[in-house]
Chains A and B, each alone.
Chain A
Amino acid sequence: MQHKVIDADDVVIKFAGDSGDGMQLTGALFANMSAVYGNGLATFPDYPAEIRAPKGTVSGVSGFQVHIGSHPVCTPGDYCDMLVAMNPAALKANAKCLKRTALVLVNEDAFDDAGLEKAGFTRNPFEELHIDDRTIISAPITKLTEESLKDSGLDTVSVHKCRNMFTLGMACFIYGRPLEYIYGYLEKKFGRKHPEMLAPNKKVVTDGFNYAAAIQAVPNTYMVAPAELEKGLYRSITGNQAIAWGLIAAAEKAGLPLFCGSYPITPATTILEELAIYKNLNVKTMQTEDEIAGICTAIGASFAGSLAVTTTSGPGLSLKSEALGLAVMTELPLVVVDVQRAGPCTGMPTKTEQADLDEALYGRNGESPLPVMAAHSPAHCFEAAFMAAKIALEHMTPVILLSEGFLGNGSEPWKIPSMKDCPDIKPRFAAEREGAFSPFERDADTLAREWAVPGRKGFEHRVGGLEKTHCGVLSNDPVNHELMVSERAEKVARLAACIPALKVDGPSHGRLLVVGWGGTYGHIATAVASVREKGADVSSAHFDFINPLPENTEEVLSGFGRILVCELNGGQFADYLRSRHPGHEYIRYNKIQGQTFLAAELGDAIEKAL
């Protein structure tokens, strides 16, 4: 049949099913295919904490959201243009995120009495969810996959594992995507290791594509043209991968080996996994016995002359507190990456939040300030990790880099930088001298001490958690303690002169400044742009550096009548900003649901604040 082809500026698709249905892979393949095609792209995987929650239940639904555009996009999208629901639970879990015009593709075979009951439906699920006015494509995906593969020789379990490929084939037809990319992927995945799986997978994705083309249920197809992106070489990258690569890049630039001591924790684990691959790039990783050993092995490695890193999430950061204090006290370079998740305590491990800010800023005993930075998008994680390492090595301090589950798992296209364009990193190795080495003598400008690594003759010295004089001698002298405390604080404060100025998106003076930090960047930018398009007097500013704040912070804030601070916590950054820059009218917009902002809700909040 003839389908009407509609040009779309952007489209949001969510693939959802049981955690065993392969929806993460399906979504990632669709996303990568779109990236290579040239679309603007942002993704967000949303999965349960359980590896295999009870089959068919709402708690076991795993989803992967893809936002593609004919222009650069910077959020995974608020509402879906298409939902793929492999079972009734997936439909139920995602019904609220459907646009009024949405297309809903369901696997009819999973909508039997048992399936409906498991998802808690008592009558027609579409009516019960009030989505019966959407375009529903009900396809017997299980039966069609079985039919497609009846001569393949695969057993039933293997056949059912191919249902996601049938679905992907249908999605490719609906969005006008040729299957070559998928074929290429399948050849790479199965060609050598499991050649028996190659032909069936190719067949089933093709059959899915052809089935969608043949049925009348698909009213239109949609074309999202390539976006106009800056020229260059691109790849798709997740936040966690970008952090790992940023750290490897910093080590190479600094001419140091990279050491990562970490303990697996959701959603940070994939950084350790990624780093563990690259032993060929002078990277050593240790999966330690606990979080404390993660940071302590890193501190040991730092003392021994490596760029040292530990990666974790909130509960792990709590366990690392005392050792972080040791790194503050010994003034050793160290990067601590916290991929935040919903807390407190174990909280909601797979859900995103920005509530570890207070912990990063203040979560140690004594006066122990350290630089705190935040990454604002999956691709920005590379630059943020690189900068965190640069600051640690050049200023001799531990640095906390805050990321978020949303950034760590999310992906977007990334224009690949060349290492020659990345800034130099010059570790503060001790200069040659006559006489004894004083480990806590400081640079006159930055107040950073020097780094003398074991193995270097004549620089033998002792560091530790006890207060010391500049010469490294233990001291309980009250005046010395106050001096050392103030110097360590001043060292961090003076970083403000070395970090980029805060940028304002929009006019530098006006009625309202929308402020954010971390992973809310895309949503805030989208919301502010849409409100400004309506003629509103609003600008935005996004903080990548939190401690210290950029030098021009006061100047920026002073340009506006009101400041709306938006964050995914109870208002931690708003409190912090007000304590550092009092005298402005601050309003807050907070969300603590383990979910990202919706650009639409931010738009409403901005209009209300104007």
Chain B
Amino acid sequence: MSQYTFKDFKSDQEVRWCPGCGDYSVLAALQRILPKVCEEKGIEKEKVVVVSGIGCSSRLPYYMNTYGFHSIHGRATAIATGVKVANPELCVWQASGDGDALAIGGNHFIHAIRRNVDINIMLFNNRIYGMTKGQYSPTSKFGAITKTSPYGTVENPFEPGSLVLGAKGTFFARSLDVDLALNEEIMLAASRHEGTSVMEFLTNCVIFNNGAHAEISSREHRADHTIVLRAGEKMIFGAERNRGIMLDGWKLRTVTIGEDGVGEDDILVHDPHSDNIGLQMMLAEMKGPEFPVALGVIRDVASPTYDKCVCEQCGSVTAKASIRSVDELLTSGSVWEVK
């Protein structure tokens, strides 16, 4: 049993998100899994650091009773990287919105992923700029009508999953704000993954983009329009659990089990630990109406982490080095004495 409960991770600050905001459930999930994270890692809670950028979701560190850093717009990933590289014993979580991580902070985001720094990035994707009151974001759908696109956007959105996998990310998972259990499930998986873990939370913005993900998050549609992927399990979904994902040549296909000669054996089995990034990319990019949106851990592969490699290099250089102090450094090499 952990020495902590979720209450140990709640700060005394009043949470100031709008009533009904999708961010609440992600915060709750984080507070609920951290006792288990501390237990699994054998660490005290003071080793937990939560870093964020700017935006509604970036207020999250204030609501956590941990070390926290609410930084500047777009730079959370760089700051989290600095924290982790400086002290790899810390357990670093990052909260960023779609604007913070993918617009102004896009560069840091892809480079942290490329380096595989051992940080856990919670990407709150509500497809809108909420804090500045309703402008389109880099994940707003083509044609989205917002305050800065009164006639609809004429630009394509990023799919965070494609971006992560395109940068050869080692971990990508997705969840829906309304699914607290799944939020916790992917957070625990992210915590266990060594390297940059990106969790995309599809969150609702009740004020400026209400129903941001309604087509998949509403009770009546969720079972048919989403699929929760789990390692070793067949890719079956639907209210009647009779639909599945098959590989058809180079493409994925949605099928109904028992129709057109399709049996359960034809359905793909999910393997997030395989290095088949092509298949994982196809799964990450599935969307309606043809496909269900993939939730759960889509990719989770082992790879050396940047912070560990840095430490190992420091260790191996130190082991071989003849210079051990600044005094020895200053008097090394070409010196001469004036008598």
Q: Which residues of A contact B (CB under 8 A)?
A: 32, 35-36, 38, 229-236, 245, 248-249, 252, 257, 259, 261, 278-284, 286, 288-290, 292-293, 296-306, 308, 322-323, 325-326, 330, 415-419, 454-466, 473-474
Contacts and interface: CB of A to CB of B under 8 A. Distances in A.
Contacts of A245: 326, 329-330
Interface of B: 11, 13, 44-49, 51, 54, 61-62, 64-72, 75, 78-87, 89-90, 107-108, 111, 310, 313-314, 317-318, 321, 323-327, 329-331, 333-339
Contacts of A36: 334, 336
B86 A301 contact: yes
Nearest to B114: A289
B108 A289 contact: yes
B82 A261 contact: yes
A463 B83 CA distance: 13
Interface centre among A279, A286, A297 (most CB of B within 10 A): A297
Nearest to A300: B82
A289 B111 contact: yes
A435 B271 CA distance: 49
B82 A259 contact: yes
Nearest to A283: B314
A293 B111 contact: yes
Contact of A257 (B66, B86, B327, B334): B86
Per DSSP, chain B at the interface is mixed
Contact of A323 (B69, B75, B85): B75
Nearest to A188: B334
A300 B67 CA distance: 12
Contacts of A301: 82-83, 85-86
Nearest to B79: A300
A606 to B, nearest CB: 32
B78 A296 contact: yes
A304 B75 contact: no
B70 A300 contact: no
28 contacts: A32-B334, A234-B338, A280-B324, A281-B326, A286-B81, A289-B111, A293-B78, A296-B71, A297-B79, A297-B82, A298-B82, A300-B78, A300-B82, A300-B84, A300-B86, A301-B82, A303-B67, A303-B79, A323-B72, A416-B330, A454-B83, A457-B46, A460-B67, A462-B61, A462-B69, A463-B70, A464-B69, A465-B54
Given A252-B326, A455-B89, A233 B337 contact: yes
B329 A465 contact: no
B46 A455 contact: yes
A304 B71 contact: no
A577 B288 CA distance: 66
A233 B82 contact: no
Contact of A236 (B72, B325, B334, B338): B334
A171 B313 CA distance: 43
A280 B321 contact: yes
B325 A300 contact: no
A234 B61 contact: no
Contacts of A419: 325-327, 330
Interface centre among B44, B54, B70, B338 (most CB of A within 10 A): B338
Given A279-B317, A281-B329, A306-B86, A233 B336 contact: yes
Contacts of B72: 296, 322-323, 325-326, 465
Given A236-B334, A300-B51, A455-B90, 13 more contacts: A36-B334, A229-B338, A234-B338, A280-B318, A286-B85, A292-B75, A297-B85, A300-B82, A303-B79, A304-B90, A454-B67, A465-B70, A474-B62
Per DSSP, chain A at the interface is mixed
B62 A462 contact: yes
Given A38-B338, A454-B87, A473-B13, A292 B82 contact: no
Nearest to B323: A280
B330 A235 contact: yes
A300 B68 contact: no
Contacts of A302: 82
B329 A300 contact: no
Given A32-B334, A462-B69, A463-B69, A292 B90 contact: no
A234 B68 contact: no
Nearest to B48: A454
A427 to B, nearest CB: 14
Contacts of A279: 313-314, 317-318
A36 B336 CA distance: 6
A416 B335 CA distance: 9
Contacts of B111: 288-289, 293
A363 to B, nearest CB: 15
Contact of B326 (A248, A261, A300, A462): A248
B188 to A, nearest CB: 22
Contacts of A249: 326, 330
A300 B69 contact: yes
A290 B327 contact: no
A418 B336 CA distance: 15
A235 B44 contact: no
Contacts of B89: 455
A32 B323 CA distance: 22
A461 B326 contact: no
Nearest to B61: A462
A300 B117 CA distance: 13
Interface centre among B78, B86, B318 (most CB of A within 10 A): B86
